Amino acid sequence: MQFNKVLENVTTYEAGKPIELVVREYGVKPESVIKLASNENPYGTSPKVTAKIQELAKNMFVYPDDSMYELKEALANKFEVESSNVIIGSGSDQILEFCVHAKCEKDSKILMAKTTFAMYEIYGKQTGATIIKTEDDQHNLEQFSKLYKEHGADVIFLCLPNNPLGECVDKDDVYAFLETIDSNTLVVVDGAYQEYASFKDEKKRIVAKDLITKFPNTIYLGTFSKAYALGGMRVGYGIAQANIIKTLYKLRAPFNITTLTLAAAIEALKDEEFVNECIAKNFEEMTRYEEYAKSKGFEYIPSYTNFITIKFADKFVSKEVAQKLLERGVIVRDLTGYGQNAIRITIGRNEQNTKVFEQLDEVLENLK
């Protein structure tokens, strides 16, 4: 059977390995597995969210409110925009898909950093678009500008802060770059980890209202999967000028968000204290990873997220390290597929991180 030829060059996204796989393949007890590969909030969901889900579980047979009125209003209030500036997706990656399909077709061009969220390229190739990447792994806006002048672009992806590496460009530098971009180029500012970046350094904070007002050709994306700890509920959002949102709605299937997902997101927005506590703990624990890397002579990328990237240079092979940790029940992300001899580790709870250091010490000693 023949399929669309553009799919021949599309790779399948590899998600972080689930706990069930480790239990099944390596015989590790479920309660002993530490999953630090998918950048989930290790402190779990706000108790208020859990209570609301339990209360509404009896309504699972009813279709959700497809207008998503309450969640859109809550987000509009949070970001001081109108509800017409908001679109809700099944994770922010669904809105990424909307953006690409709204702008791109064969011969279109998409500009992005060399090492960034894999779905940018996957969605782009689905349309037949040409992918243009910087030489540097991290976001180098001078290279972005050079490539834009040479090739142009229908879509530009800026991941602020960047996944899977963790670095983040200052807002002022981002704005200076955006001043040079043609109004017909859609710039997607992926703020999946913005809650973490803006907590750590005010210079990294991207204010959605300010962004889309100054630059009407931009869209800001956020998610409830990270700081708000709703990865399993799959809900994200986009904020842009009303004309962009109206166009993206043409690509949205009805009922793309579940009844319980809507309720969870609405409730999560009410408990900012819980979110801020989780973020504060995240950066307290991150310092332990930084000190660990220094003690081993490993380079790490200063992170503005809830994960850290540790590079092994020529000392160890990241794929081997990640595999040996996996066999011991510690799931981290090997970045070999991104061209990096490095592992990405989600910052866990204190006791989880202590165990990671213990297991990593043993693995590294055995691999010498």
Q: Mean pLDDT per segment of 10 residues, for the chain of length 368 residues?
A: 77 74 78 91 93 87 90 97 97 95 94 96 94 96 98 98 97 98 97 98 98 98 96 96 97 91 94 95 98 96 97 94 94 94 97 96 91
Report the alpha-carbon distance of residue 103 to residue 98 in Å, rounded: 9
| 252 membership: H or E segment, kind and range | none
Q: What is the CA radius of gyration of the chain?
A: 21
- Can you tell me whether residue 331 is helix, strand or coil? strand
Query: Residue 158 and residue 322: Cα distance in Å, rounded?
Result: 28
- Going through 267-351 in order, the beta strands assigned E by DSSP cover 299-301, 307-311, 330-331, 333-334, 342-346
Could you identify the residue written with the tokens 């955006």?
A: 178
Please give the Cα distance from 109 to 132 (Å, whole number): 7
Sign of dihedral through CA atoms 216, 221, 227, 229?
positive
Distance in angstroms (rounded) separating the CA atoms of residues 113 and 302: 17
Joined together, the tokens standing for residue 327 give 């066999």
Give 75's contacts (C-beta < 8 A, 6+ positions apart).
83, 86, 237, 239, 269
Q: Say what the pLDDT of residue 61 is.
A: 86
For residues 201 and 56, is the Cβ–Cβ distance under 8 A?
Answer: no
- DSSP-assigned letters across all residues of 148-170: HHHH--SEEEEESS-TTT-----
Task: Note if the bond before 164 is cis, omega within 30 degrees.
Answer: yes
Residue for token pair 């907590």: 199
- Rounded distance, CA 55 to CA 246, Å? 33
**What is the rounded distance in angstroms from the CA atom of residue 153 to the CA atom of residue 325?**
41
Task: For the chain, count helices (H), then strands (E).
Answer: 14, 13
Query: What whole-number distance in Å separates Cα of residue 78 and Cα of residue 101?
Result: 28
Query: How far does the chain reach from its first CA to its final CA, in angstroms?
Result: 49
> Strand 307-311 relative to strand 299-301: parallel, antiparallel, unpaired?
antiparallel
Alpha helices (runs of H) in the chain, residue ranges in sequence order: 19-26, 47-56, 69-79, 92-103, 118-126, 141-151, 171-178, 194-200, 208-214, 242-249, 259-269, 272-296, 318-327, 350-367
CA–CA distance, 339 with 132 (Å, rounded to integer): 16
Q: Are the C-beta atoms of 201 and 169 separated by less than 8 Å?
A: no
Look at residues 221, 261, 229, 241 and name the one whose alpha carbon lies nearest to residue 94.
221
Q: How many angstroms separate the Cα of 251 from the Cα of each of 95, 97, 103, 204, 302? A: 9, 9, 11, 31, 37
DSSP 8-state class, residue 224: S
Q: Give dist(CA 190, CA 118) in Å, integer.
A: 13
3-state secondary structure of 43: coil
Domains and CATH numbers, the chain: 5-44+273-367 (3.90.1150.10), 47-271 (3.40.640.10)
What CA–CA distance (Å, rounded) separates 47 from 53?
A: 10
Which stretch of DSSP H or E encloses residue 223?
A: strand 218-223
Matching residue, tokens 């949102």: 245
